[in-house]
Amino acid sequence: MKLRYIPAFITLLAGIITCMISIIRQNEILSSLKTLLLVLIIFYIIGLIARNILNFAMQSNNNESFSDNKEELSSVAEDDNSLEGNSESGEELEP
């Protein structure tokens, strides 16, 4: 879904920031590339963890809303059954 791109976005954002800092500080190319590689790996892992946390939160939220809807439907069904029981017992409801 939409969460699929979170690790890539976080990684690219960290890479851009690292490149800007390296250019401003006028670091050597080799040390800048080593730093960039390390930053990309670390922030990709952070992005994967963030995506998994968001997936878990969204799934638990969906499960809670599903159970709430299920409880709501069962209470409505019980109300309908009680109304049917009253009308079947021969009692007439006054308007």
Domain positions in the chain are: 2-71
pLDDT at 60: 84
pLDDT value, residue 1: 59
- Can you tell me the distance from the alpha carbon of 56 to that of 51, in angstroms, rounded to the nearest whole number? 9
pLDDT tens profile 28-86:
999 999 999 999 999 999 999 999 999 999 888 877 776 666 666 666 566 666 666 55
- What is the predicted pLDDT for the residue at 3? 84
Return the pLDDT at 35: 96
Cβ-Cβ contacts under 8 Å for 49 (sequence gap 6 or more): none
pLDDT over threshold 70, residue 25: yes
Amino acid residing at 9: F
Q: Within 13 A of 45's CA, how many CA atoms are on the CB side?
A: 5
